Structure 1
Amino acid sequence: MSVLAQAVREVQTALERRRVTSATRTTFQAATLLLRDERARVRADETIGETRRAEKQKRLDDVASSLARTAVRDQALMALLGEDAVVTPEARALEREMLQRAGIEPAPVEAPPVEEAPAAPAKPGVVPQSVVSRQMANPFLAPDFSAARPSAARPSRLAGWELLGPLLRSFERAGSGASACMDLPAPISRRAAGGHELMPHQARLVAAAAEGHRTFLLADEPGLGKTAQALLAAEAAKAFPLLVVVPNVVKTNWVREAGLWTPRRKATAIHGNGDSIDGFADIVVVNYEVLDRHVGWLGEFGFRGMVVDEAHFIKNKTSQRSQHVLGLSERIRSFTARPLLMALTGTPLINDIEDFLAIWEFLGWIDDKKPLPDLMDALTATGLTPADPGFSAAARQCVVDLGIVRRRKVDVAADIPPRRIADLPVELDGPTGRSIRAAERDLAQRMVGRYEDAIAARGSGPVDGIDHDLVRRVATWEQKDAASSPNGDNVFSMMRRIGQAKAALAADYAAQLARSAGKVVFFAKHIDVMDAAEETFTKQGVRFSSIRGDQTSTVRQRNIDAFVNDPEVAVAVCSLTAAGVGINLQVASNVVLAELPWTAAEQTQAIDRSHRIGQSMPVTAWRILAAQTIDARIAALIDDKAGLAAVALDGSDEEVGSSTDAQHAALVALLTEALSAGPFGG
């Protein structure tokens, strides 16, 4: 309910400011979809009584009335209320995101049932006319089974062992010096077809592809040129036609990069229904958001290679995007004996070591339950089992040798200047600051009440100290039942309010930086925070470029180019979601984080839009933190979790922060602090 109410307020605010954008319409439609689904769920829920059902229906009706009253003020919004309104992919994606913000896991997209009849199953989505033309021009395109791998592993002494868990733990417990990079050959040449010169670390990966290696988890730190490496590896492996799956924000950039590094290969991007694509192109670039409507013909196109950029996007294997990517990978592997498969991500681990699993499955190293033949053979060859002391290190090396490539800037690009993160605490004064601090106290007190009720329900007498297991459970309840709060305050709404309160302060600091130190990249999570920052820049006469998720690829690229090339454009106002990956903003050496992301990986990705190859100045990321609020606590939690990838991939001895998500950890810390100050503190 709080998420729905927040969405309605967001739309109402946009109407009041007369700034109804496509993002506003997307928010409105997502709220409408969520409301309809929740109404249907409440009606069908047999576990609640009629009184509770009527209460929930009444609250939903109130939100529906508010939506209707809001829509009356804008004809475009009214059209979205119709049952026949076309639901955009962006609205569907936002609806799932809203569910997750409410602590509800969206229902997985069910795979279509297997047809028992011999008739071919219906193909989902659309088939662009140019693809039909290509298929007609190549009617005898045949699968390549010239060196097909065995479909099943040979008998192994490890056949009865559960192996995926030990494989993951082998990375989680990696010791100092256990870097994760396969042996790579010396470069054959550092000159690309377009006349550009590769850095040595890039040329070594291309040489490995030329020598016959075909699967890579390319996990170089952000900013080390993974796009160029992937394109040139495809050229070396003759892996064309090549399918490239990317976030929408970098789709146009991939086509540009293909023209730069592989000028003899035609690249095309799929937009919408694909009406404008070139079906005869060598490189087909598609974004995750439209993959569902093209997955049918893509699976039959005859690709000899597949690249997944920002591969951590597929970590949730129940999501539709992951299922489509994994299905296409399996189809390509069945069609082509030794396709080139590359997963690109500078941040392969977001929250948990399990984030590896979907990537390994995409690469064909494992399936849902066990290692596949190549990995199983390598594990068998060690002569060890999970019960043996040396198995962990040997198993980890087996996975690395299959194609993990991880290089750090400090090791291979020493000429890239250093970076640092500087925290700037700001005081939130006046009614806004007092309101936020009061809301935080109310949230803590609500959790204390739930904790006390749970203790009392046990009936086991006084408790010595704090029950930390119960604290974690209470935090989980709060996440999943935030709407039970009378005022709707929860960790998500508070962080948004803090972002809104900081917006003008952060923008003012960014303007000062722009005047004194040159171009600045300004990151925020929420649209209204970006809007407020842009209003501040406008008032101060600071020219800016806006990079948002609701823009078309053409508009977004035009705005990126304006920031990079126009000396008068001083600030790039960027969405953490839309601009946090895959774009080059190294023209700026100062980054302002007006709002915090939820993970260390997102923070790194944002900063590394500037800290990358081509940067000539030290990069400073200025985190604007609201003092004496949960904002500062979450910053510390993000820093604690930054060691996860370092341990798993870089062989660091740093202590890994909890794999629990930052929202949950923040609630745990908030409740623990409140209990320590009261009678339960011991």
Structure 2
Amino acid sequence: MSNTLTPEQKRKIEENRLKALARRAERLAQGNPQPLQNDLFSSKQQQHASSPTPQPRPTAGPSKKYTPPLPSHRNNPQPSTSRTATTSGPSASSKPPEVKPDASKGTFKANSFYGQNQGLTAQPSDKKTPKPPDTSSAGPAKKPTVSVRGKCVPHTEERFRVEVGYHAELIAVFKNIPSRNYDPVTKMWNFSLEHYKLLMEEAAAIPFVTLKALEGMEGLEISPGAMVKGKCTLISRSRLEVDIGYHADVIGIFKQMPSKNYDMKTRKWSFLLEDYGRLLEALNDISAVEIEPLPRAVLQAFSSQFEQSHSKAAEVPEADLSAVDSTLTRSLMPFQQYGVNFAVSREGRLLLADDMGLGKTVQAICIAAYYRKEWPLLIVTPSSVRFTWAEAFRRWLPSVAADRINVVVKGKDSLRSGLVNIVSYDLLGKVDKQHLANPFGVLIMDESHFLKNIKTARCKAALPLLKAAKRVVLLSGTPAMSRPAELYTQILAVRPTLFPRFHDFGARYCDAKQLPWGWDYSGSSNLTELKLLLEESLMLRRLKSEVLSQLPAKQRKVVTVTTDGINARTKAALSAAAKELANGRHNKMQEKEALLVFFNHTAEAKIRAIMEYISDMLECGREKFLVFAHHKKVLDSISKELTDKGVNYIRIDGSTPSAERQQLCERFQFTHQSCVALLSITAANMGLTLHAADLVVFAELFWNPGILIQAEDRVHRIGQTSCVDIHYLVAKGTADDYLWPMIQEKMNVLEQVGLSESNISDKAECSSFHSKDPKQQTITEMFQRSFSEEDMDESVLLEAVNDWEDSEHTNSRPQENHFSASPSKKRRIEDYFSK
């Protein structure tokens, strides 16, 4: 059994020892018939001015030494500090200042109580706090010097208690506090907050007694003329909170408000917005109180709430969409329908901040269609998805002729030649400025967080358009990537009257600090109020978790990319391969060889578009996603791009040893940093679990939909708690034109027999890739015939693809006829396809 005492046992021993010493001192004091008064203390001090300094009596510690008292002082016991506690009342010199109530307000005067940096005027008391006599010359002491430490803690809404060990003189102070209350159960004293300052001043005058201040009320010194400063903050759409230090008059006003509520955890008062006017007026009448009111933007956004507060927002009226194409309105999910209604209720000006995969594009098209009479329409978007927007309009709004959709490709192109005009952020500042004279009526800004820096060229080019447009729809799944300051330009675009000056916004929500070189707006403050303000005035945001019941397990989307910008050699090779296929004068083996060449040149032509799309995903804040590709050249190009950008990624292809695959998967799954998983379609489509991501990007297509489904399921598997987004990058004018319809058709067959969960042709956001051109139909039939035969060995085809890719690196210039390869190469291809 250990002899070590617990802290509690030590505390009890110390407390009992102090009590015993106090009782002994009382007995000694009772044996002395002379009264103990301040004048006696003074005379004793003079009488023994030359006496040696008394030594304390030994205590329970080996380091304490005891010096016996001198005989001449044997009959002169030292004054006991416990004598004050045993008298019937405090002496004249120890009487505390009397606190008189303010008759006009029914509460105590402000200058009688505590306030930290608050501006309460501290008036010195006429009375003197009792102090123990100076016994430096009164002979040896018979009571040891004991240090007592305690703390003040909240007790109830308006009271605090003192947790401290026994000290006789401190108990005497407690008994002199008018609001004192002793709890015999806890053996602790508690007091009203009104007397906090008084108690702390009295306790500070007792030697060797230390009380830790009440949290939030540290510091007792109050400079004359200082102010009690506070701030009003919105905490819900119906209530505000006042953050202010203690002031008796302020508390009195708070108690008069009908909707008052005190939070014991935060120790702050809150009120309904309908009481805000009366509250602010009453607080402004107190000269020593300075309150920061709610910002003008909050008053503007919640104007109806200040008349009569409601905890729930008013119902959003249903918009009349009868003039919008039924193809679009019938496809809207309930939450998407609500998004359109919300936009109409905000007069077509909003920030749609839905999570990725919730269909912001289709909602924006429907909102724009509602205001079709105000077109022309301008869509500003990242370069990689310009043609995806064009395809979406062709699919969802068939009433808009295809030739009325204008995609700006070069800086010299007109921005107003179509009814629907689509331009990238990079080209917006380069196009002709004629659009400023005749502004667009409706404007959609996709990935609007691209405007976060007001100093960039893209932002300077966009702001005049946003200012002139009557309807503005901003789309972003991540409106602010890291700090509130990034929201300002988007707020300015939608509701310019909320915060005309950036400094007003920065001071309230960016924790603005003035430094020697200027203002720093990189911080954040009052974020709850900012969120409420945005939601009430301009922003609608839904997370996947909130609408998961309305979402399918997988959402497939076709992203149409362009092959613009490829070099002349690749362009010539791709064109020659397409022409050779269109001739149709080939035997079975030649068809397969031609398709194989076309497939390889497609990969090379798509590399730039793939890089651009991945960069946009990273800029949009996607932390983890998968990228599948087939050709080694594509995988190498993506690897180099990610390395150059300093992006964390893993790569699994055919050369990755089996022992390393699981380690790479675990690294992707458990890292807290952004990470991209770069995977081979054929080498990493099974046996891996990567459900830490919920986005899969197929940089290339593959002719076997079963392989694609297996690759999708690296994310869509047990443990996935979110809807999975699948993006297929499809390039016009390449082999994708023929592969994609074939994949759609095969996927339909798999779904009909229950082997696929969703139908790509129905779920993917794309228009049909089937063409009425008989030559294209012939090529499609060739793809279907070549890649669908039962006797075809797929492993042989994959080997042929890889061998062709390796061998074409030896050719430095394009071939006019891609089927005039060397005899050895041709024999190798023939061998593969004859098996």
Give the TM-score band, short-chain normalised. 0.3 to 0.5
When the two structures are superposed, what TM-score results if normalisation uses the length of structure 2? 0.29
Greater RCO structure (CA 8 Å; 6+ sep): 1
Higher share of residues assigned strand? 2
* TM-score, normalised with respect to structure 1: 0.35
